[in-house]
Amino acid sequence: MHPSSSRASAAASPPHPPGTAERRTGGGPGPGSGSGFRPEIQGLRAVAVLLVAVYHIWLGRVSGGVDVFLLLTGFLITASLVRAVERRGRIGFAAFWTRLVKRLFPAAAAALAGILVATWLFLPETQWRDAISGVVASALYFENWHLALNSVDYLAQNSGAGPVQHFWSLSVQGQLYLLWPVLIAAAAALGRAAGLPLRGAAAAALALVFAASLAYSVAITRADQPWAYFDTGARLWELALGGLLALALPYLRLHRALRILLGWAGLAALVSCGLLLQVSTLFPGYVALWPTLAGAAVIAAGTTGSPLAADRLLNLRPLHYVGDHAYALYLWHWPVLVCYLSVTDRTQPSLTGGCLILALSMALAVATRWVAETGVEAFTRARPSNLWSLSVGAAFIVPVLAAAGVWSGYLAEQQRQQELAAAQATDYPGAAALGAPSAEPVENSAPINPDPANAAADVPVTYADGCNQEIRGSEVLTCTYGPREYERTVALIGGSHAAHWFPALQEIAAEKRWRLVNIIKGSCLFTGVEQYRAGQVYHSCMEWNAGVMAELAELRPDAVFTTATSTNVDPGAGPVGEKVVEGYVERWRELDAMGITVIAVRDTPRLEFSAPDCLAEARPADCVGRRSPSMDRVSPLKRLQGVPGNVALLDLTDQLCQGRKCPTVIGNILVYWDRGHITATYMRTLAPVLRDRIEAATDL
């Protein structure tokens, strides 16, 4: 979020002199008021940014403060653009956008440069690639879409929050800064053609945007909330609401007592929003009306002049000081928090640690504002041209993009060199080391392959081929692998824990002349029973499952390879342990009726930590997981009743664990690329064992 300054609401008009404020008492603002500096907005910005920081640091929650900033952006930018049209009859698009570049880019670039340095100094190598891609997305103002795509990418969801994740709201605002002048200019032109006053035409346009965006937001939030949270279209209504407030405010006639009540009610609602609502899983939708209407109430209350009003609190000098630095404070608080947690190996700061984070963030904010705003303004005061403003912004952001590009290229070359070295080496037996005479299959002197820093890329080729359906989609995607002349058809079906068996099956398919058909959907199990994700019915999974059965009825493969159990180590995702998922046996019976053999493999164990993160800082011997609590000591498959005769139950846990311990490195190959998914490299070494067990259990 960019908490736009009320002192200089937008580049379409010159900023008001610092410290000026229009004091209003009695019946409230009259027509034409509201164009001057509103001191209560500066205090509101301070409250909003402090709520964002405090909730992030100590509560691990989202506060709703971002929504207030979106409201304020709409309020301030609409008022500024409308005044520009009223004064000059038009909007100077080039001046507006280039001055915004000069205003916003330097501070953002300073923060992004600091984040690159901090990533190198304080974050494990396993997070470097994601941080670099996030910096690029943030610098180009599409971080919200970058995160939205990750929200529907099952593999990306397994990565932790990065140091630039908070830039999503800045990206939303950057995109809307491009749209809003066009919207107001179009409304003005249509209004002139229809003989409507400017403010009436602008209000009609904003009302249309508000209604359409809110309706879309409600629908997409219900259908796919993780995507909706970052969707620009689902956030437009918050800016439109601010714009409508800016247009209506000069005509409001509110009694002073009502304004006092509105101020306190709005402030209380805003502060309590994050405590009473789980913002991160409910917003944006209609629920986001809570903080936006709360902010609107504070703005509508204005400056009452009463010593008992909320604006008396909002006008305190310390809050105004924080409000002056709200943008920079927002930029810094999140990366400082992420680095602190990484260095201290904590999941949440202590009271003292949180205070240190807040103090350091504020110090960085003060320095950033001084350099990026005060310094740049003083340097460019004598050069007011649009080209110069654009050049100043580019001078800050281009080096950041260049540094990110060079670093990314260096990491890619490192990965290529390591892959070449590993391909030529003879000391990477992987699973074959478990049968070696030596008692220690975990490690030898060669480097681990793949490097933990690149482990997240060591996934089945089906992901790069676009063959695995993501969380939002319900269409059945099928991709075929193997020789053109094949003897059998085997379909791999299920979620990501079925998908990670693909590399081994691909090796077997090449050897045994199978046609291997990949039918995978993220976080979706192969069953006809209703499934849930993030506490909500997983509708697309149910639709996908129905489509898979129709596909199998047409494909008629010789066999289906899928998971037989489901393991879990995260209490937040349901009961910890291992289970045969409801509906599995019934689905196997359906396949039996179709004459299809089922190869059902016991699920793989999950770790209580990220294997690459651990190995980035410790030896393989120090990064050994436990077989429990994710897996039962005795396989539930041994107690399973009513299994039809077409089912072959396989258990390869002995190829991943030794007794109660599950190494993260076996035969010098990294086993896990995260907390529970097997690397493609290790899975390929499992191919001979998997082949032998399939042959022993079936006639394939």
Q: Report if residue 488 sits inside a domain.
A: yes
3-class DSSP state of 650? strand
Report, in this order, helix, strand and coil percent for the chain, each rounded to 5.
60, 10, 30
Please give the structure tokens belonging to residue 243: 């714009």
- Whether the CB-CB separation of 393 and 360 falls below 8 Å is answered with no
How far, rounded to the nearest angstrom, does the alpha carbon of residue 125 sit from its chain's CA centroid? 20
- 444-473 per-position pLDDT tens digit: 567 899 999 889 889 999 999 999 999 889
More confident residue, 572 or 489: 489
652 DSSP assignment: -
More confident residue, 562 or 40: 562
202 and 286 in a common domain? yes
397 and 528 in a common domain? no
The CATH number assigned to the domain holding 690 equals 3.40.50
Q: What is the dihedral of CA 521, 526, 532, 537, to 10 degrees?
A: 80
> What is the distance between the alpha carbons of residues 161 and 404, in angstroms, rounded to a whole number?
19
Number of domains comprising the chain = 2
Assign 353 a pLDDT band (cuts: 50, 70, 90).
Answer: very high
Q: What is the pLDDT of residue 445?
A: 65
434 and 396 in a common domain? no
Q: Is the pLDDT of residue 13 over 60?
A: no
Name the domain boundary from 347, 369, 404.
Answer: 404
Q: What is the pLDDT of residue 518?
A: 98
3-class DSSP state of 234? coil
> What is the distance between the alpha carbons of residues 3 and 67, in angstroms, rounded to a whole number?
10
Cβ-based neighbours of 400, under 8 Å, separated by 6 or more: 109, 112, 113, 116, 135, 139
Domain enclosing residue 546, as ranges: 429-697
Cβ-based neighbours of 629, under 8 Å, separated by 6 or more: 569, 576, 577, 608
Q: Report if residue 29 sits inside a domain.
A: no
Please give the structure tokens belonging to residue 219: 């629908």
Please give the structure tokens belonging to residue 66: 């971002």
Q: Is the pLDDT of residue 202 over 80?
A: yes
Mean pLDDT over the full length of the chain: 89
- 603-657 per-position pLDDT tens digit: 999 999 999 999 988 999 999 999 999 999 999 999 999 999 999 999 999 999 9
Q: What is the pTM of this model?
A: 0.83
Q: What is the pLDDT of residue 479?
A: 97
449 and 399 in a common domain? no
Q: Report if residue 373 sits inside a domain.
A: no
- Whether the CB-CB separation of 540 and 473 falls below 8 Å is answered with yes
Name the domain boundary from 345, 370, 404.
Answer: 404
> What is the distance between the alpha carbons of residues 91 and 671, in angstroms, rounded to a whole number?
59
- Whether the CB-CB separation of 643 and 483 falls below 8 Å is answered with no
Assign 436 a pLDDT band (cuts: 50, 70, 90).
Answer: low
Q: Report if residue 171 sits inside a domain.
A: yes
Query: Which amino acid is located at 628 in the chain?
Result: S
- Whether the CB-CB separation of 529 and 555 falls below 8 Å is answered with no
Cis bond upstream, residue 629 (ω within 30): yes
Write the CA distances from 666 to 126, 161, 319, 495, integer angstroms.
19, 29, 57, 25
Assign 15 a pLDDT band (cuts: 50, 70, 90).
Answer: very low
> What is the distance between the alpha carbons of residues 410 and 417, in angstroms, rounded to a whole number?
11
> What is the distance between the alpha carbons of residues 482 and 511, in angstroms, rounded to a whole number?
9
Q: What is the pLDDT of residue 660?
A: 93
647 and 572 in a common domain? yes
Q: Is the pLDDT of residue 207 over 80?
A: yes
> What is the distance between the alpha carbons of residues 439 and 663, in angstroms, rounded to a whole number?
13
Crossing angle for the helix pair 326-344 and 351-369, to the nearest 10 degrees? 140
434 and 397 in a common domain? no
Query: Which amino acid is located at 107 in the chain?
Result: A
Write the CA distances from 86 to 16, 19, 81, 323, integer angstroms.
17, 25, 9, 29
Q: Is the pLDDT of residue 27 over 50?
A: no
Please give the structure tokens belonging to residue 316: 């305190």
Q: What is the mean pLDDT of residues 181-207?
A: 95
Q: Is the pLDDT of residue 423 over 70?
A: no
- 252-302 per-position pLDDT tens digit: 889 999 999 999 999 999 999 988 888 888 889 999 999 999 999 999 999
Please give the structure tokens belonging to residue 62: 């989202």
469 and 325 in a common domain? no
Cβ-based neighbours of 432, under 8 Å, separated by 6 or more: 667, 685, 688
514 and 393 in a common domain? no
Q: What is the pLDDT of residue 342?
A: 92
Q: What is the pLDDT of residue 60?
A: 86
> What is the distance between the alpha carbons of residues 490 and 512, in angstroms, rounded to a whole number?
11
Q: What is the pLDDT of residue 36?
A: 58
Q: Is the pLDDT of residue 440 over 60?
A: no
Query: With helix as H, strand as E and coil as C, how does 435-449 read?
Result: HCCCCCCCCCCCCCE
> What is the distance between the alpha carbons of residues 183 and 160, in angstroms, rounded to a whole number?
37
374 DSSP assignment: I
Assign 664 a pLDDT band (cuts: 50, 70, 90).
Answer: very high
Q: What is the mean pLDDT of residues 306-312?
A: 92
Q: What is the pLDDT of residue 149?
A: 87
Q: What is the mean pLDDT of residues 10-30?
A: 32
570 and 445 in a common domain? yes
> What is the distance between the alpha carbons of residues 471 and 525, in angstroms, rounded to a whole number?
12
492 and 397 in a common domain? no
Q: Apex CA 435: angle with CA 434 and CA 440, to 5°? A: 50
Closest C-alpha among 442, 513, 506 to residue 670: 442
322 and 440 in a common domain? no
Q: Is the pLDDT of residue 390 over 90?
A: no
Cβ atoms < 10 Å from Cβ of 433: 22
Assign 11 a pLDDT band (cuts: 50, 70, 90).
Answer: very low
> What is the distance between the alpha carbons of residues 364 and 299, in angstroms, rounded to a whole number?
29
Q: Is the pLDDT of residue 188 over 50?
A: yes
400 and 499 in a common domain? no
- 679-693 per-position pLDDT tens digit: 999 999 999 999 999
Q: Report if residue 444 sits inside a domain.
A: yes
Assign 372 a pLDDT band (cuts: 50, 70, 90).
Answer: confident
55 DSSP assignment: I
Q: Report if residue 1 sits inside a domain.
A: no
Q: Report if residue 149 sits inside a domain.
A: yes
Share of the chain above pLDDT 70, in %: 90
Q: Is the pLDDT of residue 10 over 50?
A: no
Q: Report if residue 363 sits inside a domain.
A: no
Between β-strands 514-521 and 468-469, what pairing exists: parallel, antiparallel or unpaired? parallel
> What is the distance between the alpha carbons of residues 363 and 360, in angstroms, rounded to a whole number?
5
